[in-house]
Amino acid sequence: MKKITVLATVALSCLVFYSFFSQKSDDSIKIMVCKAVEHEALNSVARGMEDYLMKQNRKYAVSVETCQGNMALASQIVSKFANSGAKVVVTIGTTPSQSAFKFAKEGKIKLVFSSVTNPNDISPSLAGTNTTGVSNFVALEPQLALFQEIQPGLKNLGVVYNTGEANSVSIVEKLKPVCEKMEINLIEQGISKISEIPQATEKLAQIVDAVFISNDNMALSAMPVIVSICGKKNVPVYVSDTDQIENGCTAALGPNQYEIGVQTGKMVHRIACGEDINKVRVEYPEKSELWLNLKGPVQISDAVQRRAKKIF
């Protein structure tokens, strides 16, 4: 009996020591991520950020959750992050960034947003709010000029966008004067839920020369549906997200989403290493890339192809 007691005491001591040692050695830095939705572009951003952080000489623990475009769910997720001791909270997309902003402004988190088209949709002023990040906005005029080069007869351009997504509304408002200047008739189809996308796309495909989806997370998550419907009418689909070319879109002139993630990772690392977040300025894509799909409904000239970074 005495021998058993001694063994049990030793075992208990080992367990206590192991538990103490594990707690002491777990010095990883928590980086918690909330994505707006699941689709290629945002997934690439998250992957680029994580890949960069894993290469650094600090031990990062990155966890990712998705709010499915739901503002209330985003708020719940970020609240959980704030209570979990996250060193930096990263939000990918406008919806979770808007939800997380109140926590940052109250000093509960350090917030780095990514892939937000219009940072003003988070707040007109980010100064002193523990918030900074990387926007994915690229100028619209060069994109439309590209579409016209591919389709010289382009006159009617359709756009499907979520009327409840601030960045999407902002893009459409910016598109209007650019289209007018370039003598393009912009035809809008606003949606409020993903189930409305097939009908909205069907309407556009019958009356437009091309469809343009620019950074709308709801539309991007249903891109195979949009491409399929437009393809039946020989209507090309243009995008700002290069990752969507693999889904059958005709052309994209925009940032490499993985590189947006790397850019975000660099910012997160700087802040995690002690740099004052309120002195870190908002950044924009360092460059744009042209990706093409030659299997679409229009022929693309050799001149355009020679400028492409990737061709499918």
Q: How confident is the model at residue 25 (pLDDT cuts 50, 70, 90)?
A: very low
pLDDT at 172: 96
**Which residues, 6 or more positions from 110, have their beta carbon under 8 angstroms from its beta carbon?**
87, 88, 89, 104, 130, 271, 277
Per-residue pLDDT of 56-114, as tens digits, reads 999 999 999 999 989 999 999 999 999 999 999 999 999 999 999 999 999 999 999 99
Amino acid sitting at position 143: Q
Same domain, yes or no: 43 and 113: yes
- Residues 245 and 183 both lie in one domain: yes
263 shares a domain with 132: yes
- 108, 178: one domain: no
> Is 13 a domain residue?
no
Q: Are residues 62 and 198 in the same domain?
A: no
What's the count of helices (H) and strands (E) in the chain, helices before strands?
A: 11, 12
Distance (Å, whole) CA 118 – CA 41: 17
Amino acid at 233: K
Task: Give how far Cα 167 sits from Cα of 111, 118, 162, Å.
Answer: 18, 6, 9
Strand segments (E) across 108-228: 111-116, 131-135, 156-162, 185-191, 210-213
Same domain, yes or no, for 86 and 112? yes
Q: Which of 178, 244, 179 is nearest to 39 (CA)?
A: 244
pLDDT-based confidence at residue 40 (cuts at 50, 70, 90): confident
User: Do residues 93 and 224 both lie within one domain?
Assistant: no
pLDDT, tens digit, 9 for 90 and up, residues 121-135: 999 999 999 999 999
Domain identity same for 115 and 145: no
Check whether 270 has a pLDDT greater than 70: yes
Q: What is the CATH number of the domain that holds 244?
A: 3.40.50.2300
Q: Answer whether residue 21 shows pLDDT above 50.
A: no
Are 98 and 152 members of one domain?
no
Q: What is the pLDDT of residue 14?
A: 41
- Token duo for residue 68: 């499915």
Q: How many domains, the chain? A: 2
**The domain containing residue 156 runs over which residues?**
140-255+290-311
Residue 172 is assigned to a structural domain of this protein: yes
Q: What is the pLDDT averaged over residues 140-153?
A: 97
Q: What is the reported pTM? A: 0.84
Q: What is the pLDDT of residue 2?
A: 41
